[in-house]
Structures are given as structure tokens and as C-alpha cells.
Amino acid sequence: MSDISRNGAGGGGQPGRIGIGLELDEIHMKILEVLRENGRISVAALAERVGISRANAYTRFEALRADGAIKRFTAEIDHVRAGLGITALIFVTVRQQMWKQFRAELARMPEVEYCAITTGQHDAMIQVRVSDVAAVHTMVTDRLANIPAVKATETVFILDEVLRRPYVLPSDRDRDRDRSRPSRRPVQEGAQSGVPLGKMRFVGAAEGRAALRKDD
């Protein structure tokens, strides 16, 4: 289980259009909405909530699963209750052309919950869950630093997780737009909103890093 998505750097699909596979209509989206909130709902109950027949619900449910739009069903676990009270983010600078090795090592670290390749100052961000702060230290100095692919790390602790949505869907945005922005003007220019631009910074990829993903 290696790559869980293929986000191109800048080539985002048009809103509403899906590249290959199943064409997702409004009812598909409704199904996804229900399922991300209650992954254990029966297909019969799902059909009722979405407003389609049971047979149809079974067909669409299977189609979404087969197509990969639904990747899996999972239980969200309280890691504190489970004994992993410490969460940290480790930003990693990876030596070029050693991504393959880095990924292989990641797979051997069960305390890593999430890893993403990013633009900006660092190359990757990994999120780890451990039982105590010492384990973070061990993780970074003992395990990560011993990987030749790792050039440098920077660690921050997560003090609180304010929000985690099961999975964001385009329909959420539409709903919000209707609620809080009755008349939405099209995006034209960055400075159009009268916001002091000095407040924010966009950080692009370092030189020569655009090709990194091709390593494996």
C-alpha cells in the first residue's frame, strides 16, 4: 500500500468533472456524504436516506467501491484512549533520488499515520502517534536519522486537534456557499479582496524538486 492518491502538482481537474472511470452524479455524492458520516449504515437505510430504491442503492454502492471512489471503510479510533497520547509532525528534507528508499523505510514505521510530499522548505511531512514524548525523540534520532535518504528533520508537537472531517466533498462547499455567500463573484485577481497581502506567503517547491515524484 504505497501511494494513496495521485495529486498532480498543479493540474487539478475541473470542478465536478472526474477523469477516468465512473461518472459521479448528485446521487453518488449524496451516498458518499452519508457513508463518510456513518460507514456502518445498512444499504437499506442508505437507500432511504438518499431517496432511491434498495436495488439501486446496492448497484451504486458496489460501483463506488469497485471504481475506487470509496477506498475503504474504517473506524476512527481515539488514539489517546488507545494509549497513543502524543502526536507530532516531522518535516523531512529528503536527499534527491532517494525517495524510493525513504518510502520503503516509512512502510516499516508503524507509528507513522500519514505522510505527504509537499512543496516548500521541506520535502515531506509525516505525522506520528506515539505513547510519550521520549518515543518521538527516539523515532527522530534513532530511526529517521539513520535513513541515508533523510537529510534533515524538523519536529513540532501537536497540542490539540481542533477539527477532523471524515472526508471533504465538493458538495460541502456548495452548501456553504449557499449559506454564507448568496452572491459569489468569480475569482479574478489575488489583490481584489482588499486584503493586506503581506500577511500571507505561498511557498513553492525548491529547485529541481518537481521531478521528485518520478523517482519510484
* 201 near its own copies (CB under 8 A): yes
Quick one: 55 or 156, whose CB is closer to DNA?
55
Q: Of 25, 77, 207, 208, which lies in the binding site for its own copies, with binding defined by CB under 8 A?
A: 77
Residue 84 near residue 136, CB atoms below 8 Å: no
Pattern 54-93, DNA, x by CB under 7 A: xxx-xxx---------------------------------
Q: How far apart are CA 96 and CA 206, in angstroms?
A: 11
4 binds, options its own copies, DNA, none, Cβ within 5 to 8 A by partner type? its own copies
How would you class 33 by CB atoms within 10 Å of its CB: exposed for 0-12, middle for 13-18, buried for 19 or more? middle
Nearest to 129 by CA among 158, 80, 75, 87: 87
Amino acid letter, residue 67: D
59 binds, options its own copies, DNA, none, Cβ within 5 to 8 A by partner type? DNA
Stretch that binds DNA, among 42-50, 81-89, 106-114, 165-173 (CB under 7 A): 42-50
Min separation Cβ 112 and its own copies, Å: 6
Dihedrals phi, psi of 71, to nearest 5 degrees = -85, -45
Pattern 137-156, its own copies, x by CB under 8 A: xx-xxx-xxx---xxxxxxx
H or E element in which residue 33 lies: helix 26-37
Length of the chain: 216
Min separation Cβ 52 and its own copies, Å: 17
With left for phi above 0 and alpha for psi between -120 and 50, is residue 194 left, alpha or beta?
left
Q: Of 66, 97, 100, 190, which lies in the binding site for its own copies, with binding defined by CB under 8 A?
A: 190
95 binds, options its own copies, DNA, none, Cβ within 5 to 8 A by partner type? none
* 162 near its own copies (CB under 8 A): yes
Q: How far apart are CA 67 and CA 46, in angstroms?
A: 19
